[in-house]
Amino acid sequence: MIRDFLNIQYGKFNQVSFIENDPIKIPHLFTKKQDIEIAAFFTATIAWGQRKTILKSAERLMQLMDYQPFSFIKEHSKSDLKILSSFCHRTFQPQDLLYFIRFLKHHYSNENSLETAFLFGDTQEKRLDGFKEYFFSLENPLARTKKHIASPKQNSSCKRLNMFLRWMVRKDDSGVDFGIWNNIGMSELICPLDVHVGRVARELKILKRKQDDWKAATELTEVLKSFDPDDPVKYDFALFGTGIEDKYSNL
């Protein structure tokens, strides 16, 4: 019954109409692979709080980059960076943004895609831990900036990074997720776990752990794999969307 319900909800929310009010709207402004990656990465990084505020902040950042994030990352000048000094989203401050840009410039100077930054390991846990280590391998990162990249090693649910990876990896015909990365399988993805998803999952009794942490995210994903072993994270649409609408009380 739960699987049937989740499949119905998945079909309902995995639609192009979902894009308009979701953070994934921002990377959908672009067509170039690197622009999509960068826009998605920044948007996912600041994706906490109200969705309207997230969308407003993320689009403002793209505007500051003249809606050419890849060109900005590769070719910016010191004066260009000064323009970014006015940007902040909650605790994500200009000094955090400047380090993110420094890392992205470093990475894209050596690689053609951000995907390679997430390939340090053969499991998602190792990849996310490896990504954080790589991300902060440049000289003198601020301790405060490190708080904006989660890792399983800290027992974080890594909600925002897992959401970003869903966007980049999942392939289907709905037109919501991008599916532009090919070296991580959909079956390897971990379900993005936030307050909405966790609440609904516990109400449906497919998540027992009380904390929204890495152990809970992997526990939930294992249950979702029993519903669809090839694409368990597709149920993120169902759980998140249901959480917003509160339509699970009769199950």
How high is the pLDDT of residue 9? 95
Cα–Cα dist 71/179, whole Å: 22
Residue 166 placed within a domain: yes
Kindly report the pTM of this predicted structure: 0.95
Question: What does pLDDT average to in each consecutive run of 10 residues of the chain (251 residues)?
Answer: 94 94 97 98 94 96 97 93 92 96 97 98 97 97 95 97 98 96 98 94 97 98 98 96 64 37
Beta bridge partners of 213: 156
Q: Do residues 150 and 162 lie in contact, with contact meaning Cβ atoms separated by under 8 Å? A: no
Cα–Cα dist 139/155, whole Å: 25
Q: Where are the beta strands (DSSP E) in the chain?
A: none
How high is the pLDDT of residue 49? 86
The residue to which tokens 């622009």 are assigned? 35
State the distance between the two ends of the chain, measured CA to CA, in whole angstroms: 8
Cα–Cα dist 20/16, whole Å: 8
Q: Do residues 27 and 59 lie in contact, with contact meaning Cβ atoms separated by under 8 Å? A: no
**What letter represents residue 97's amino acid?**
L
How high is the pLDDT of residue 249? 40
Residue 197 placed within a domain: yes
The residue to which tokens 């499949």 are assigned? 7
Counted domains in the chain: 1
How high is the pLDDT of residue 251? 37
Sequence-separated (6 or more) residues with CB below 8 Å from residue 13: 237, 238, 240, 241
Residue 250 placed within a domain: no
Q: What's the count of helices (H) and strands (E) in the chain, helices before strands?
A: 12, 0
Residue 167 placed within a domain: yes
Enumerate the H helices of 178-234 as residue ranges: 195-203, 214-227
CB neighbourhood size of 66 (10 A): 11
How high is the pLDDT of residue 39? 98
Residue 25 placed within a domain: yes
Q: Show the tokens assigned to 104.
A: 């992205």
Residue 251 placed within a domain: no
Residue 172 placed within a domain: yes
Domain hosting residue 29, numbered range: 2-245
The residue to which tokens 């391998």 are assigned? 137
- Among residues 119, 232, 112, the alpha carbon closest in space to that of 184 is found at 119
Residue 157 placed within a domain: yes
How high is the pLDDT of residue 246? 64
